[in-house]
Amino acid sequence: MPITPATAATSSSNGTSPEILLELVDEEGNTIGTAEKLSAHRAPGQLHRAFSVFLFDEQGRLLLQRRALGKYHSPGVWSNTCCGHPYPGEAPFAAAARRTHEELGVSPSLLAEAGTVRYNHPDPESGLVEQEYNHLFVGMVQSPLRPDPEEIGETAFVTPDELAKLHREAPFSAWFMTVLDAARPAVRELTGPAGGW
C-alpha cells in the first residue's frame, strides 16, 4: 500500500502492517469519523464509504475479477471490475482510479460517476458485513491488463448472457448484483442499447 497523508500517521515502523482506516458516514453520505478496516466490517458493521468500478471493453463486455484466494474478505469469488474504500479524505473518484491501477495495472480510458447505493450485505462465509455507502463508476478499459496476483485470481470479459451463465454456476460477492443493478442506467448509457445491459 502506498503511504499517503491519510495512512502515514498509522504506518508502523516495527514490521507489522499499517492500520488501514475507512471513512464512516451517515445515511446521507456525510463523513462522521473513521474506523479500522476490519473492525468496520465485523457484525453488525459500521456504515462506511466505498466505491465500485465497472469497466467495459470496446465490444461492450464487462470486465470481472475473481478475488484472490488470499483475501480476508470474500476470497475466490467473482465480482465487479474493482471495488474498495477511499482513504479518509480521499475523493471517491480518485480512489477508484488509484485502486483500479493498483489491482489491474491499467488506468481507465474513461471513468464517469454513476450514482451511489447504500446496502447491508452479510458475508455468510466470513461472518463479516458490508455496511456501505457505495460510489459507483463506469468506464472503458483499452490497455492490456496486468493484474496483481495478491488481489486478483482471474479476470474475464463477459457479455450479459455470459455473466448470467457464470452467475448461475460460480460464487459471486454478496454485493455484486446490488451495485450492478444500481449502475445499470449509466452502464446502458455507456454501452448503448445494443449492449444488452
For the annotated catalytic residues, the residue numbers are 83, 132
Tell me the β-bridge partners of 122: 129
Cα–Cα separations (whole angstroms), residue 192 to 58, 60, 61, 81, 123? 11, 8, 12, 19, 33
Cis peptide before 44 (omega within 30 of 0): yes
CB distance 53 to 102 below 8 Å: no
How many other β-carbons are positioned within 10 Å of the β-carbon of residue 115? 13
Q: Which residues contact 102 (CB under 8 A, 6 or more apart)?
A: 148, 151
Extract the C-alpha cell encoding 128: 463479516
Distance CA 33, CA 184 (A): 31
Distance (Å, whole) CA 42 – CA 98: 26
Q: Is 6 left (phi over 0), alpha (psi -120 to 50) or beta?
A: alpha
